Structures are given as structure tokens and as C-alpha cells.
Structure 1
Amino acid sequence: MKTLVLSLAALLIASPALAGQAVSLRSDTTDADGRVTLGELFDGAGAASDMVIATRAGPTVVLDAAQVQITARRAGLDWSNPNGVRRIIVRAGSGSGGDGALAGASRGNVEVLAYARSMATGDIVQPEDLIWVKAAASPSDAPRDADALIGMTAKRALRQGSAASLRDVSTPLVIKAGDIVAVTYEDAGVALTLQGKAMAAGAVGDSLMVQNTASKKIIETVVTGPGSTAVGPQAMRLKASRNSLRYAAR
């Protein structure tokens, strides 16, 4: 019995240490020498401050917040991520130098997202393609978060160092001109499907003219996914949803 009491007491004494040291993400995440440490990411990192968790080869490095949280926990730190951050962008500190190609873009008073490399039309924007820089002004439709651009397709050639804007990109095309697609009508439990040939390329939510392969009649549809389109109430809802998103982005 005495042994059991002592064991329980030991667990109670040790439990605060097992919980981890609470830390908060710094508002300005920069590193001094290309090696990103927990102390450069978090306030209150204490003894774990010098632990290197990533390296930065260019002006910025984009870290996955969930992976950072796991790494911090293993080091005895508890970051609750109260704001639901998905990615952490770490920039070069003021004394660490930078990429000469982007030096001109880094002067100014406004922080904007810019392209870390030149991109061709049709390229998919990846996390490492975006950096935060200082600029004299930002585009009227400048994205507030990198997630608005990541995974999107470049609509035109984009120059390294130029400020990013929402009009630079579009949703990736899921249908090509000439593809055979399914056209679906759904309403009140009734579902009908026919085959048609896409007259153009389209992304999810785009209006797309499709030729019925049987009747040769051309109908207007809305793209719902790879190889699939819709007509009727479902198509109207998709168009209304996309139009509201476009209006909100202006």
C-alpha cells in the first residue's frame, strides 16, 4: 500500500512536466543565419530555443504548422495554435542578407506576397513559390494569405519578385476541350445523366458548353469535377456560389 501511495505521488509531481511548456508563436518569424530554431518561432521556448527544426536556402521558407507543432511537442513545448495557423513563413532577418534578385522588392512599407521564382502559364503555385516582401504598395486584389494562391494555376507568365494578386491565378482546369464528360441533372430525388463532348476547357465552377454526343445539341453546363458537369438546380447553385466568392474577393 505504501508503495502504491508513493507511486501516485510521483506521478502527480511529474504531471506538470509531461504537459509541456506553453509557448506562443512570434508575430514576426525571422531567422538570422538560415537555420530556423524553435526560439525564433516561439516566445518562451526556454532550453529548447536553440533546437534547429528547418533550414532556409532562399529569402523565406514555408513550414507546415502541424509538423512544427509535433516537433515542438517532442522538445517539451506546448503550442496550442489557437488561431488555426496552417503554414508558418519564416523570412531572413535584417542582418542575414537575402536574395539579390529580390532585393529591390524588399524595400518599402507594405508587406505583400511575391513570387520566389518566375512561373510559366499553367504552373501550379507551391508553398515554396511564395515569399513575403516589403513593397511601396500592394495590388488592389493582393491575397492576405498564401493559402489563397497555393494549389492554383498561373494564368500567365509570372516574374520572380513581382507582387502576387488574385487575378494572376485560376482554379486548375479539370476538363480539356474535346473530353467526353458526364452531364448530370439532379432535382427532388430525380437524377439523369448523359454523355457529351466538352467544347472548351474548364475548371470547377466554370460555365462550359457541352455537345450531346447523341443529339449533337449544345447545352450550357457547369463543371463540377474531373470529367463531370451539371445542369439544372445544381448548376445554378454552383454558379451563384462562385459569383458570390468573386464579389467578396474584389
Structure 2
Amino acid sequence: MKTLLIAAAFAAFAAPLLPNMAFAGTPVTLRMDTTDADGRITLADLFDGVSGPAANMVIAARMGPTAVLEAGQVQMFARRAGYDWTNSNGIRRIIVREGADNGGTSAGATASASRGNVEVLAYARSITAGEIVQPQDLLWVKMAGAPADAPRDADAVIGLAAKRPLREGAAVSTRDVGAAQVIKAGDLITITYDDGGISLSLQGKAVASAATGDVFAVQNTLSKKIIQAVATGPGAAAVGPQAQSLQARSQPVRFAAR
């Protein structure tokens, strides 16, 4: 008897959900361009194929120009509404930008398709100017388009320093980053000269900051003479053939935890 009462109570509780359960397992695909117009991100803003009351289900709020959603949580919301998103591409996060509401219509999907659909490297967190980009700071997301200089490989930016503050969720551009400065103005450094078995070194004071491979001014701490040297690493610089060889390299040496 007790079992029957529990079953009846559960059936009464679940009755309002039965319309949604009719769609259980309905496959949906992530939209090519995920946007919303009013700051209320709904399932229809994210997926093609969502209809009925579930289309207007709000799963997150966008407080700024973009919102970053965890793909796993989005998948869970879709499943609760009776829809199945397989996430076959293994997307970790979804970027939602300000724009026209998709509204769950095929017209919205057609407009998105005309702009294309690409996997873009984006920042997993906000990064301050001068901070070194680490592997965990990057992730691949789906966007309608990519910057003209978007890197195809994360290694192109890992280990480089942010030239300006970078916002979480923004697409990565190679102009965002540059070689990390290994010498700061005022640093005491060791300047070396190596050629044909002859090796000399002296102490100097950096007049300017420099990244590895940069030519910068150094003041001899004894003679006070200003010379030009090439930064070779933290607290180190070179002159002569070694410096010329370093300058000829197309890729600067990068110092960062990889």
C-alpha cells in the first residue's frame, strides 16, 4: 500500500513535466552563431531544433557584451528539457554574444550559416597586460567567425606575454601577445662576447626593457659608456657574433612554463 501511495505521489508530481518528456532524446545541434538580444540566454538561442515552452527556457544571463557558458552545464539543461546535444566536437565552453535573438527559427540558422561556423581559440580567463599565456588559459570554442590573424595552433601564443588586458571568452589574435620581457630598465645584467674561443664578460645596467632577441641600450657600469646589446635571457645579453646570430633567428626564444 505504501509503495502504491509513493508511486501515485510521484505520478502527480511528474504530471506537469509530461509534455516536455514527450521530447526526451530529441537530438539538437549547437547554433553556428550563439547570440541573444536581451541578456536572457535561452535554449533556442543556443540550439537549432528546440521548440515549444523549452525554447524560451532561460539558462543564463549575459551581463556584458559576451557570456561564457560551461558546455557541460548547457548539455545538462538541454537534457532536462528533453533534448540531446551530443557535443561530438568536445566543446568545453560556449561564447554567447550580444545580437539578434535566434528565436528557434530556421531563418536565424540560415543567417548564421551565411557567416560561417569555425572553431576558434579563445581565452579561458581574463589576462592582465604583461602576464604570460599558459596552456590552461586557452580553449577551443565555436564562433561565427575568427580574427584574420587567429592562430591555428595554441603553441603560437603559449609562453608569450599579453600586450594589453585580454577578456575571458574573447577570440585569440596574434596581435594580442608578444615576446615576454626578460630584462627591465634598470636591471643589472651580464654582457658576454664569444668568438673563436675568446670569451669576455662585463657588467652593465639596462637603459631600456627588452624581450629575448631585442636590441637594447646598456650602460657599462665602469666606463658609463652606452652600448647596444641583444637580450639573450633574464639578466643576460650578448654582443658580437653571438648577438648577430640571435637576431637572425625568425622565432624568439620564449621563457615560460609549458
User: TM-score interval w.r.t. the shorter chain?
Assistant: 0.5 to 0.7
| Partner residue in 1 for 2:16 | none
Question: 2-side partners of 1:104 and 1:236: how far apart?
Answer: 47
- Counterpart-to-counterpart distance in 2, 1:146 and 1:59: 20
Q: Secondary structure at the match of 2:172?
A: coil
Deviations 1:223-244 (A, max 9, x none): 1111110011111111111xx3
Tell me the matched-pair count: 155
> Which residue number in structure 2 is paired with residue 163 of structure 1?
171
Deviation per residue, 1:6-50 (Å, 9 max, x gap): xxxxxxxxxxxxxxxxxxxxxxxxxxxxxxxxxxxxxxxxxxxxx
Structural RMSD (CA): 2.8
Task: Indicate the residue corresponding to 2:14 in structure 1.
Answer: none
How far the C-alpha of 1:203 sits from its partner, in A, is: 1.6
Q: Distance in 2 between matches of 1:171 and 1:213?
A: 27
* Counterpart selection for 1:212 from 220, 223, 232: 220
Task: Report the alpha carbon displacement of residue 144 of structure 1 after superposing the two structures with TM.
Answer: 1.4
2:156 to 145, 148, 155: 148
1:173 paired residue number: 181
Aligned to 1:135: 143
1:197-238 CA deviation, whole Å, 9 max, x = no partner? Answer: 001222211111101111111111101111110011111111
Deviation at 1:150?
1.9
- The 3 A distance-change label for structure 1 pair 135 and 95 is closer
Shift of residue 153, structure 1, vs aligned partner: 1.4
Gaps of 5+ in 2: 1-68, 73-85, 99-111, 253-258
Alignment CA distance shift 1:98-1:196 (3 Å): closer
How far apart, CA to CA, are the structure 2 residues paired with 1:103 and 1:183?
51
Three-state SS of the structure 1 residue aligned to 2:247 is helix
Cα offset for 1:99?
5.0
TM-score by length of structure 1 reads: 0.55
Higher relative contact order (CA 8 A, sep 6+): 2
Q: Which amino acid aligns with 1:114?
A: A
1:135/1:97 Cα in 2 relative to 1: closer, same or farther (>3 Å)? closer
Q: In the TM superposition, what is the alpha-carbon distance from 1:172 to its structure 2 partner?
A: 2.1
- 1:98 and 1:193 map into 2 onto residues whose CA distance is 51
* SS across alignment from 1:118: coil
- The separation in 1 between residues aligned to 2:90 and 2:247, in whole angstroms, is 48
Runs of 4+ in 1 over 3 A off after TM superposition: 57-60, 94-100
What letter corresponds to residue 154 of structure 1 in structure 2?
Answer: A
Taking structure 2 as the reference length, the TM-score comes to: 0.54
Q: Which residue of 2 aligns with 1:224?
A: 232
